[in-house]
Copies of this chain bind each other. A is one copy, B any other.
Amino acid sequence: MLGDEDPMRLPPGRARLSDVARLAGVSAKTVSRVITGHHNVSPSTRERVLEAAQRLRFRPNHLARDLRQGGVSRTVAFVMGDLKNPFYSHVAAGIERFLAEHGLTMVLAATGDDPAQEARVVGAMLERRVHSLLLVPIAGDQSYLAGEQQLGTPVICIDRPAHNLAADSVVFANRAGAAEAVQSLLAHGHRRIAFIGSAMYTHDERLAGYRQALLEAGVAAVPQWERQDAVTAADAERVVRELLAGPVTPTAILAGNNRVSTGVLRALRDVPQQVAFIGFDDFDLADTLGVTVVTHDPERMGREAVSLAIARSSDLYGPPLQTVIPTQLVLRGSGEVPPDPASLVR
């Protein structure tokens, strides 16, 4: 007969809520209640619905659910520079895990550390109506996000604060960490300590910590040893060779991050004099190689960012919060070598 459908036969496409409802002999709303786990359903009905859902291999459509619930998805965007950078991938791991515990999903997008890409990439995420935006800011200005905050999307900056935007942020205790490293070098007798890093927020902060520690110890700053021109490992390698070829050479080096560390270590490998070394950021094999580092916990940074996002979504217009995560100095030997007399006379 025309219009006489066999409800037991699987429909050609994906089963919908209404298909389950028809098969179970209830209304769509009741199925909805069962699926979302509401309690206003009698056990027997629930049973029948679940059975029907299973038979039809029903999977609720979150797209439709999110749309109906106000156009905000249960998805959080993480926009960072490059997943190949272990720092970012560890932060992402922390975010993903913590989100999963809250039934949220992470979408990921990379700016390639290109300031010009940020707004475009962020825009694509916002069009997906993400629940909130976790961003490692790279552009010089984030004021374009003020409207989104206003409209209810939490914006959390990771690793560095936003420019021209009142947003929550999670950062490491960069100054304190660098100061602690320098104090350790000072305690081992060093007075000629170089900082090698680049020109960005975290390195500025670390350099500030370095300066502060030297100042407190009464050690005069040497401008030539405050290098902010090492972005890549190759840069760092070159800078170290330059420094060690100078008339007065440092006896200890503090590296601004793990990329710089790699270059510094490469340069120090071929150099006769002993130079004490401490790196910011831990890295693979640092323990095996006996490299002293200032470590931090990128996963925790991810978790704290998610915490801020969740908190912010229920207090949209409160004052911006900043979470500061402490660092740890891990002594492994390379920072504990005494000043090399060979490098003192030159």
Contact = CB atoms under 8 A, between A and B. Distances in A.
B75 A83 contact: no
Interface in A24-59: 57, 59
Nearest to A110: B96
- Chain A, interface residues (CB within 8 Å), range: 35 or more
Interface in A277-292: 283-285, 288-289
Interface in A104-121: 105-110, 121
B67 A63 contact: yes
Interface stretch (A85-93, A160-168, A224-232): A85-93
Q: How many copies does the complex hold?
A: 2
Contact of A60 (B14, B84, B110, B127): B127
B57 A64 contact: no
Contacts of A121: 100
Interface of A: 13-14, 57, 59-64, 66-67, 71, 73, 75, 82-84, 86, 89-90, 92-93, 96-97, 100, 105-110, 121, 123-129, 147, 151, 262, 265-266, 269, 283-285, 288-289, 299
Given A93-B110, A100-B110, A284-B262, A129 B62 contact: yes
A110 B126 contact: no
24 contacts: A14-B71, A59-B127, A60-B127, A61-B127, A62-B127, A62-B128, A63-B67, A63-B129, A67-B67, A75-B107, A83-B90, A83-B92, A105-B109, A105-B124, A105-B125, A106-B107, A106-B108, A107-B107, A262-B284, A265-B288, A269-B288, A283-B284, A283-B285, A285-B289
Contact of A110 (B67, B75, B97, B125): B97
Contacts of A96: 83, 108-110
A63 B61 contact: no
A231 B60 CA distance: 38
Nearest to A97: B110
A78 to B, nearest CB: 9
A271 to B, nearest CB: 14
Given A67-B64, A86-B86, A128-B63, A107 B110 contact: no
